[in-house]
Amino acid sequence: TQLLEQSPQFLSIQEGENLTVYCNSSSVFSSLQWYRQEPGEGPVLLVTVVTGGEVKKLKRLTFQFGDARKDSSLHITAAQPGDTGLYLCAGGISNFGNEKLTFGTGTRLTIIP
Amino acid sequence: EAQVTQNPRYLITVTGKKLTVTCSQNMNHEYMSWYRQDPGLGLRQIYYSMNVEVTDKGDVPEGYKVSRKEKRNFPLILESPSPNQTSLYFCASSSLVHDTDTQYFGPGTRLTVL
């Protein structure tokens, strides 16, 4: 079973600060997805990256897939209270991309107003 | 509205009493999956299904059964629940047309086995 380690596990920062969350594995994935989960709800997909070195931006969020497709990072610029939540990375294996996903343990982010 | 529904949302039961958690999607998705989420362990896949009558084990299938008789439904069955199956369960679905298709999650079922 592939393992995805996320760091940090918990992060609490002031509104307006920047932050980076990391997702690392010793395994190669065909795709890497990032989700955000809020209390009482299921995870919601933020982005999928499929090419080594790929960078995607979603407003203040920047996602990068490592060149070797073993790791990924999520960078948030000027964090806002609405960014608070549990962030999960998930590595996809197989030609269908998300046929089987392995999830990381998550990063619980709290933005303090 | 495109959605994945799960029932019940909350369930408290006793050891050994068979239960079923239902999952239904209205997006005509081929792929459906069940996960459990536990503190410090993240989401772990229990079973998944690529289409009707096609199911396969995920990472933690022991103690669970599934069936896929219809495309829209993917029930999770616990024949003899035990306390270590106390967890938050999520059903998810997606199309298999593209590699980057979104996986949609249900709202979760919080199960407690006493």
Question: Given an 8 Å threshold on Cβ–Cβ distance, is A103 in contact with B43?
Answer: yes
Closest partner residue to B108 (CB to CB) among A33, A42, A106 is A42
Residue ranges of chain B whose pLDDT lies below 70: 97-101
Question: Given an 8 Å threshold on Cβ–Cβ distance, is A100 in contact with B48?
Answer: yes
* pLDDT for residue B95: 85
Can you tell me the distance from the alpha carbon of A26 to that of A68, in angstroms, rounded to the nearest whole number? 10
Question: Given an 8 Å threshold on Cβ–Cβ distance, is A97 in contact with B99?
Answer: yes
* pLDDT for residue A17: 97
* pLDDT for residue A39: 86
User: Percent of chain A scored above 70 by pLDDT?
Assistant: 93
- Is residue A28 over pLDDT 70? yes
Interface test with B, best of A96, A105, A108 (most B CBs within 10 A): A96
Contact B113, B13 (CB under 8 A): yes
* pLDDT for residue A93: 77
* pLDDT for residue A59: 95
* pLDDT for residue A31: 86
Question: Strand locations in A1-113, DSSP E?
Answer: 5-7, 10-14, 19-24, 31-37, 44-49, 55-58, 61-65, 71-76, 85-93, 100-103, 107-112
- Is residue A96 over pLDDT 60? no
Give A 51-110 residues with CB within 8 A of chain B. 88, 90, 92, 95-106
> Which H, E and C letters describe chain B, residue by residue?
CCCEEEECCEEEECCCCCEEEEEEECCCCCEEEEEEEECCCEEEEEEEEEECCEEEECCCCCCCEECCCCCCECCEEECCCCHHHCEEEEEEEECCCCCCCCCEECCCEEEEEC
User: Which of B25, B21, B24, B51 has the alpha carbon at shortest distance from B36?
Assistant: B21
- Contacts of B97 by beta carbon, 8 Å cutoff, 6+ apart: none
User: Which of A39, A80, A41, A34 has the alpha carbon at shortest distance from A57?
Assistant: A34
Give B 3-62 residues with CB within 8 A of chain A. 4, 31, 33, 35, 40-45, 48, 50, 58-59
Closest partner residue to B41 (CB to CB) among A41, A95, A105 is A105
* pLDDT for residue A97: 47
pLDDT, one tens digit per residue, over A41-86 is: 999 999 999 899 999 999 999 999 999 999 999 999 999 999 999 9
User: Percent of chain A scored above 90 by pLDDT?
Assistant: 74
Integer angstrom CA distances of residue B114 from B11, B82, B86: 11, 8, 8
CA-CA-CA-CA torsion sign (B58, A101, A42, A84): positive
